[in-house]
Structure 1
Amino acid sequence: MSTKKKWLITILSIVGVLLIGIGAYAYSLYSTVEKTVASMHKPIDREKSEKRTDAVEFKKQDPISVLLLGVDEREGDKGRSDTMIVLTVNPTKKSTQMVSIPRDTRTEIIGKGKEDKINHAYAFGGPEMAIHTVENFLDIPIDYFIQVNMESFRDIVNAVGGVTVENGFAFNYGGYTFDKGQLTLDGQEALAYSRMRYEDPNGDFGRQNRQRQIIKAVIDKGASFSSLTKFDDILAVIGENIRTNMTFDEMVDIQKNYKDARFNLEQTQIKGSGTKIDGIYYYIVPDEERTALSTKLKKHLQISGNVTKR
């Protein structure tokens, strides 16, 4: 056998071994992801939102909506959803709308029969009541929820190797100093950065903006090729701290058909004013503001209809 032929066989053998190794790794990764999603899965008792006439079809790239619930869970306490973010995802427009709902927003709690702070819906009835309440407040369907234990922010950020954010002003919080400008944060720093509220001139809105920064940074970092080597750590943290009604197959379809929508992210702040009712602070959103926001989200979801009165 010629030397040239021997080298060719050797190279092909090496490539073959590499391909087999990559295939085995990919299968292992797929299997691990599937098991992780199974542990995260928390179904809700409905096939689709009552505000949809037809079920979402991923292959047709129908726009979808997701409610993110950041919950501070403590032992012996169900907790409240102190962070509530609605995402509408439109793959044909390659865009995502992100709306943070102030936790003190006064609205009807669906299933409780009274008006209260919107973040109390989770405490009263878990993600189901939170979903129904947000649907009523914005008059849009909520297709999926993702519930995150806020304490896990630290572990999730560490799992992706830290995040980079752009800080608008210098402040101190939780024993850390955050300078103005671009910052690279580890998990504990990111948790402190996202929690500061009282020193922020924008109050809770400022905190919501920093939380959105961290979420976006985690998504971008987690989707990068460099995070593949950290997948085991990332999946371990996710499996312990995140719950969702998405199935594994739905996640695969969403990743396949909707992934480009994350590159164009528009963030919206709900306008309103604070007041006290019976000595309790509430954030009041005018009907005209709610109507305008609902119309905007419906357009992004490519659905029609009028906003219902609370």
Structure 2
Amino acid sequence: MKFTVVIPTFNRAQLLKKCIDSIVVQTHPADEIIIIDDGSDDETEQIISSFQIRQIKYIRQQNTGQMIARFNGINMASNKWIALCDSDDIWEPNHLEVLNNVIKSYSDLDLVYSNFYEFGSASTLENKLQTAPAQWLEKSIAARENNTFFHQDLFKHLLYFTPIFQSCLAFNKESYFEFSAFSEEISKQNLGAEDFYSILIFALKGKVAGTFKKTVGIRKHMANHSASAAFSMEGEITIIQQILKENNRHPVVIDCLEEINNAIIQRQRALSYLYYEARDYKRFNAVLRAIPFEFKNMIKKCHLHLLSYFISDKQ
């Protein structure tokens, strides 16, 4: 199987070099590597030029955001199967070989993915699939062969746990466009977790398989964890609501409306907690209005109101 690799990047020159280093040594070589430079003003172009490799295609564009940059790369891809990688992540040498084996294990697949681990200054995870909730794997897997598995009812299960990450997956390009796995509406909003949209669409409309093998390292940077988590949670809520709006007549969506609404409320509650921890009264109050009444949240609201009063009074 021939793979096109698509890498969107913005001002990550040194990290990008490590990413490309991990891709060009694959035991199942990539046929094409498309790097979309989303308007970087660092040494990105020089780093890419240092790789004298025929498979690499470098495209520079004005800054439009990662989602559009990735879409442009997908649109340019020459091969049927496209593997994605963020420019700060790395692949183990057997990543494409493992994905190729998953593709060969089941017929007519639309998306495949591998397991992953985290690395970097803020890493906490050694094996993503091992963190799955009780019974999640058993309920979401229809068939299993050695280290590979084929999913069933994945859309519903992804609402509660998402082991699929952008840098770990590959998909059929024809299916991507047939399913409309890119949302122009979502791309305009600069959301956290924007890749969640495409993953949910593939789970809703396509056939998905994976592997327990860890073949990808996801870099976790030292950052404001609460702010980053809130940004991602906001994005996931918006994406689920958008998919519900666009696919409200799809039989799977109709069948699991209760699970969809519960998933949104669950995320809103988590988001309210993050805003409470951050002492962000305005955003906490806005989320509070969207979720069912809970006495403990009213206590938190009073607490934040008093804090904001005393802080403003001192100023």
Note whether the superposition's TM-score is higher than 0.5: no
TM-score of the aligned structures, taking structure 2 as reference length:
0.26
Higher relative contact order (CA 8 A, sep 6+): 1
Q: Larger Rg: 1 or 2?
A: 1
TM-score normalised by length of structure 1: 0.26
Greater strand percent: which structure?
Answer: 1
